[in-house]
Amino acid sequence: MATPPDFTAGQVLTAAQMNKVGLWLIKTQTIGTGVTTTTVTDVFSADYENYRIIVAGGASSANTGNNNMAITLGATTTGYYQSALSYSYAGATAAITVNNGAAWLCGGQTTSGLNMILDLFRPFATDETFMSFSYSVMSTTGYGLPGAGYLNNTTSYTAFTITSLATTTHTGGTVYVYGYRD
Amino acid sequence: MADPIIVQIDDVERPATAKEKAMIQVVQDFMASLPIIGEPEAGE
């Protein structure tokens, strides 16, 4: 037998082979029309310790502020920390630091689209949750930003919420939640 | 009258409750409090 992932047509996969699948799609959520927040429930569990969340497509209703969007876990709006330093496309310093803030700011939103790559570590565990992320602001005056941070509490979470900037809403796009095999 | 704030919980979209509006306000106020990238800070 070929070594996975070079499977052959008609091949029967064993549990041992399937258990080596490293990234499992837990949930796909399409963002609706003109929504301020999108909450994705029941995605974090004892099944996986670490997760990858992708947001792609759709659009913001307007370009404003830092053209970014927020992530919160559960109903928590305090204790978020992150540091992120980069440059705008024009070469100006681009930094977004969160010091005991109300959310992580780890996604980009413009009228051209929404995007986010977020790795979330141990959100279900009764321990601090840490994360790393990157996003780009799809605008000629925008910026790209990688960063990392953590949530300073020991709460166990099962859900997260994406929030748009004030006076903006999100329409369309897809949220993908994957679990990393332990 | 201002458009209602719409929240989405999985596949369900509906107007935000008072509690949800309060949480959204906290998050959006925090986002708005951060310096704008590419603009000079006060005093520069």
Give residue-wise pLDDT tens across range A64-100: 999 999 999 999 999 999 999 999 999 999 999 999 9
Search chain B and give the residue with CA nearest A31: B8
Q: pLDDT tier at B1 (50, 70, 90 boundaries)?
A: low
A103 and chain B in contact, CB less than 8 A = yes
**First-to-last CA distance in chain B?**
40
Question: Which chain B residues have a beta carbon less than 8 Å from that of A141?
Answer: 38
A82 and chain B in contact, CB less than 8 A = no
Cα–Cα distance measured from residue A49 to residue A69, given in angstroms and rounded to the nearest whole number: 25
B24 and chain A in contact, CB less than 8 A = yes
Closest Cβ–Cβ partner in A38, A77, A94 for B8: A38
Helical H runs in chain A?
A: 15-18
For residue A123, whether the previous peptide bond is cis, meaning omega lies within 30 degrees of 0, is: no
Closest Cβ–Cβ partner in A39, A90, A169 for B9: A39
Report the DSSP beta bridge partners of residue B1.
Answer: none
The C-alpha of B32 sits at a distance from chain A's nearest C-alpha, in angstroms, of 7
Domain chopping of chain A, boundaries: 23-180
Strands A129-136 and A80-88: unpaired
Share of chain A above pLDDT 70, in %: 98
Which tokens in the block code for residue A148? 């990392």
B41 and chain A in contact, CB less than 8 A = no
Closest Cβ–Cβ partner in A30, A36, A41 for B6: A36
| Fold exhibited by the domain A23-180 | Jelly Rolls (2.60.120)
- pLDDT tens-digit readout, A69-78: 999 999 999 9
Nearest CA to A110 out of A147, A151, A46, A61 is that of A61
A39 and chain B in contact, CB less than 8 A = yes
- Give the C-alpha distances (Å, rounded to integers) separating A158 from A46, A122, A155: 10, 11, 10
Residue A6 has pLDDT above 90, yes or no: no
CB environment A80-116: b (16+ within 10 A), e (fewer):
bbbebebebeeeeebebebeebbbbbbbbbbebbbbb
Rounded average pLDDT over A121-147: 97
- pLDDT tens-digit readout, A104-129: 999 999 999 999 999 999 999 999 99
B18 and chain A in contact, CB less than 8 A = no
CB contact under 8 A, A166 and B36: no
pTM over 0.90: yes
CB contact under 8 A, B7 and A70: no
Q: Which is more confidently placed, B14 or B1?
A: B14
- Residue A138 near residue A4 (C-beta atoms within 8 A): no
Question: Which chain A residues have a beta carbon less than 8 Å from that of B37?
Answer: 66, 88, 92-96, 143
Among A6-20, A115-129, B12-26, where is mean pLDDT lowest?
A6-20
How many Cβ pairs within 8 Å bridge chains A and B?
88
